[in-house]
Amino acid sequence: MMRIIMIISNLIIPLTFAAILIYGYFKKVDLYDEFIEGAKDGMQTVVGIMPTLVGLMVAVGILRASGALDIFSEFISPITTRLGYPKEAVPLTFMRLVSSSASTGLLLDLFAKYGPDSYLGRFISIMMSCTETVFYTMSVYFMSVKITKTRYTLYGALLANLAGIVASLTLTNLLYR
């Protein structure tokens, strides 16, 4: 069974690509021109969202370099300790909301210091899988289609992230303590 899944997994992208080519051929679509038009639209989208991405990257760099996240995690550590939440994970938790690459960098720093098989390593691994880069995702997707009124999206996304964090902590405590 696993072999069949591996074969399907290896063939899914080439088969999809072939299906698009065959469909375009039978519909008499100039696939090259359509590809070029799509690439132009994609480049316009990139140019449109570039200022937002640069702003997010600068903010992440400032937060990491200034030590503000470490100061904040020390400040709230009495609360996190009572909840059983590792204070070392607090900077990663907040960085995860903004940047996947910056949070991965913090994750690797924590792995180097505590080990991936430690309680903290297992918790942050599960947490990274259960959470999303809310602000990055919202800015990229909403800016690309020019949505300015997000209504309840931010609240829902933050609530979903909180649920992921609670689930991660619960799973880690159930499985590894």
Among the listed residues 117, 115, 123, the one whose alpha carbon sits nearest the alpha carbon of residue 170 = 123
What is the residue extent of each domain of the chain?
48-176
How high is the pLDDT of residue 117?
Answer: 93
Per-residue pLDDT tens listing for the chain (177 residues): 788 988 988 999 999 999 999 999 999 999 899 999 999 988 888 887 788 778 877 877 787 788 888 888 889 989 998 888 998 999 899 889 988 888 898 899 999 999 999 999 999 999 999 999 998 888 888 877 778 788 899 999 999 999 999 999 999 999 887
How high is the pLDDT of residue 53?
Answer: 74
How high is the pLDDT of residue 112?
Answer: 95
How high is the pLDDT of residue 51?
Answer: 83
How high is the pLDDT of residue 128?
Answer: 95
